[in-house]
Amino acid sequence: MDDLQLLREYAQHRSESAFTELVRRHVDLVYSTAFRLMHERSLAEDVTQLVFIRLSRKAASLGSGIILTGWLYRTTQYVAQTDLRSAWRRRQRESLAMELSELQRDHESTWREVGPLLEQAIAKLRPADQDAVVLRFFAGKSLREVGEALGVSDDTAQKRVNRALERMREFFASQGVVVSTAVVGPAIAAHAVQVAPAGLASSLVTAGLAVPVGGVGVATAIQGLKAVVLAHLKTVAAGTVFASILIYTGAVAWQAAPANPTLPPALTLRGIVHSPDGQPLAGALVRVATPQHYVRLYQITNAPPATNRTNLSTNSNALSRPPASAPRQAPSTRTARDGTFAIGLPELPEDGLAAVVINSDAGYALVTAGELSANPDVVVQPWARLEGVVRVGKAVATNATVNLGIWGATALFDWNLVQHSASTRTDSEGRFVFPQIAPVDVWLTRTVQVRTNDGRQSGHQYVKVRPGDRLQVQLGGMGRAVTGRVDWNAASAPSTNPLVFYGSMWADAEGGIRHPRNWKSLSREEQRQFERAWRDSPAGEVFKNSVRNYEFPVQRDGTFRVDDVRPGRYRMQVRADEPRPDGRGSRQAAVVETEVDVPEGVAGENEEAIDLGTLEPTPARRR
């Protein structure tokens, strides 16, 4: 027997001899292909086993026109590459965790040595250099802000800080502590300012207000503050907090930090947020999204994200699909008066993926942790406003759900971690409004009930949104109607349950991103920048405008109608599912697939529906 005969014998009768013969014929091909890809015999054997397991599971669904040798070759490539990607991601996670752990240990070990000598080292500096060190590493200011405070340029501030660090390094060396200037600064920034006890600030304010203006000297005032601090510290359990008060340039400063010093953050992100005109932005909400903690951009109540997200897709040429989301709350904080923030992560982000998102009435910003470390200055972009009307044919759609979402991708992980989706309803005139949306490429859809309790997003319409835009759009009401009928009798007989059909149409998108041959060897940031540049290119715009799909119900008499289908070539699938006998979900019971061409409309034709006639579903094989 040939391969297809053996395959049918196994699929229909579970013939062990037939499957054994298939393995004998093709095992050398599969193993050799796997070995060339994996370069290890044990891994090649694992891939070979997975390929034939997949053949066993799919034997019944492989069509009569299949070339089994080619199918096995392609499946081997897919399985091997999937395994390679998993191994690469695992190595990346392990490498990142090791690097961050080593960095944290370097900072901690450096601090244990230089911390007891820090005040002595700073005392050796000139006042101007002291100011530079305190502003840069104690107050967390950028070099630009240090320069502005000292009345010098950014370059001069950088030189002054470097000079101070070098003199401190020399002092530490004279005391028998040998460290480099590269680790002194980060160690000071991470450890020099500790948490003040809860309520201390209010006690200080009370004590300060109790001092008559001009009635006592500075020394007496400071002594009074010291007494208040000591009295308050006596009420705090020993070992639960550390306090450090810095008195310089006539001011008392304190900074919040983790309540338990024995559990420092695994990673701390710092930055400075600016308004669109460049001014420091106070009170902005800062959240960090990681694979462990997703963030919903348009929900700012600090609640964990919903169970479904709509902005994630691992396929760069497909719209997003809703996987399960992380249930935990993302780390968050608010910017200080000078726009600065410091936010600690309790655990290292998986795969090193982290994105910082800023919400403020002044605007929105989204940066990766890598971008933030390279440049701590973040400028928000003004929000946009999007409003419009929903139509179904000539009629307006009242009380319809309108959805807004973005197109995520593996390379653009920051758009995956931060959910940009939102929904609203139309009013009695079919109008809707999203008063505040991020200036990113979005798609609008409306929810269509294809079955009972099964609402799906339909009619994807691309909208390019720029900062500060005020956009008016119309969703639906354009294009042609597509009609047809499903022949129930062609599919219902094999099933003991009455079938309920529903359908989908998706366009053949024009173009699509093509990665370079060295894509896998590029760094994650290089891949992200490549995909971002492609999306903004003319080819990317053409592709985004051509991506759309339509979802539709099928009536009890088998008829269906899809309104407002825009010109293009589509693939249509009408299918019915039924419960699995074991109760684990559902399975396909019957399906029909066809292609639909919707031509450009001409005068007098736009109201004529395209009738597909009677469609006869094919019953699915059941196992």
Task: Summarize pLDDT for 571-592 with one digit per residue, the tens.
Answer: 999 998 887 777 777 778 888 8
Q: Which residue reads 């009972």 in tokens? A: 452
Q: Are 3-87 and 103-253 in the same CATH fold?
A: no
What does the pLDDT read at residue 86? 63
What does the pLDDT read at residue 397? 94
| C-beta of residue 413 within 8 angstroms of C-beta of residue 528 | yes
Residues facing residue 421 across a β-bridge: none
Q: At what angle do helices 538-546 and 524-535 cross, to 10 degrees?
A: 70
Indicate if the pLDDT at residue 494 is higher than 80. no
pLDDT band at 303 (very low <50, low <70, confident <90, very high): very low
Number of H helices, E strands in the chain: 16, 27
Cα separation of 5 and 346, whole Å? Answer: 58
Calculate mean pLDDT across residues 256-262.
41
Indicate if the pLDDT at residue 529 is higher than 80. yes
Domain spans, the chain = 3-87, 103-253, 267-307+323-379, 384-619
What does the pLDDT read at residue 94? 54
Backbone angles phi, psi at 188, to 5 degrees: -65, -45
Q: Which residue has the higher pLDDT, 602 or 337?
A: 337
**Beta-strand relationship, 418-419 and 295-296:** parallel
Q: Which own/partner pairs from 512-520 qualify as long-range (CB within 8 Å, at least 24 positions apart)?
A: 512/316, 512/317, 512/543, 513/316, 513/317, 513/540, 513/543, 515/316
- Name the range with the highest mean pLDDT among 182-186, 371-375, 608-612: 608-612
pLDDT band at 402 (very low <50, low <70, confident <90, very high): very high
pLDDT band at 260 (very low <50, low <70, confident <90, very high): very low
CATH of domain 103-253: 1.10.10.10
Q: Which two three-digit tokens encode residue 576? A: 């019915």
Calculate mean pLDDT across residues 591-602.
84
What does the pLDDT read at residue 281? 94
86-143 pLDDT tens trace: 665 555 555 555 544 444 445 556 677 778 888 888 888 888 888 888 888 888 788 8
Coil, strand, or helix at residue 240? coil
pLDDT band at 55 (very low <50, low <70, confident <90, very high): confident
Whole-number Cα distances in Å, 294 to 29, 415, 531: 43, 11, 22
pLDDT band at 487 (very low <50, low <70, confident <90, very high): confident
Residues facing residue 395 across a β-bridge: 392
Computed over every residue of the chain, the mean pLDDT equals: 77
The 8-class DSSP code of residue 603 comes to T
Q: Which residue reads 């983790």 in tokens? A: 258
Whole-number Cα distances in Å, 308 to 227, 292, 304, 320, 322: 54, 15, 12, 11, 5
H helices of 436-579, in order, are 489-492, 524-535, 538-546
**Beta-strand relationship, 610-615 and 480-486:** parallel
Give the rounded percent of residues in the chain with a pLDDT score beyond 90.
25
What does the pLDDT read at residue 474? 94
Q: Give residue 74's region: left, alpha or beta (phi > 0; psi -120 to 50).
A: alpha
The 8-class DSSP code of residue 61 comes to G
- Name the range with the highest mean pLDDT among 88-97, 169-178, 285-294, 432-441: 432-441
Could you count the other beta carbons within 10 Å of the beta carbon of residue 11? Answer: 19
Cα separation of 551 and 454, whole Å? Answer: 11
Cα separation of 308 and 63, whole Å? Answer: 35
Which CATH number is 267-307+323-379's, of 2.40.50.140, 2.30.40.10, 3.50.50.60, 2.60.40.10? 2.60.40.10
Q: Which residue has the higher pLDDT, 532 or 180?
A: 532
DSSP-derived secondary structure for 173-219? HHTT----HHHHHHHHHHHSS-PPPTTHHHHHHHHHHHSPTTTS-HH
> Is the Cα torsion angle 190, 195, 201, 203 positive or negative in sign?
negative
The secondary structure element, H or E, covering residue 134 is none
Q: Which own/partner pairs from 599-603 qualify as long-range (CB within 8 Å, at least 24 positions apart)?
A: 599/567, 600/567, 601/479, 601/480, 601/567
312-350 pLDDT tens trace: 233 333 333 333 443 467 889 999 999 999 988 888 888
What does the pLDDT read at residue 327? 45
CATH of domain 3-87: 1.10.1740.10
- Name the range with the highest mean pLDDT among 10-14, 114-118, 547-551: 547-551
Give the rounded percent of residues in the chain with a pLDDT score beyond 70.
75
Query: For the sheet containing 340-345, what is the strand order?
Result: 340-345, 267-274, 377-379
Task: Among 200-209, 349-358, 445-454, name the one with the lowest average pLDDT.
Answer: 200-209
What does the pLDDT read at residue 87? 60
What does the pLDDT read at residue 603? 43
Calculate mean pLDDT across residues 174-201.
67
406-417 pLDDT tens trace: 887 788 888 888
What does the pLDDT read at residue 222? 46
Side-chain half-sphere CA neighbours of 173 within 13 A:
10
211-236 pLDDT tens trace: 444 444 444 444 544 444 444 444 44
Cα separation of 575 and 555, whole Å? Answer: 13
Longest dimension (CA), the chain: 108
**How much is the pTM?**
0.56
Cα separation of 390 and 432, whole Å? Answer: 8
Q: Which two three-digit tokens encode residue 450? A: 């294809």
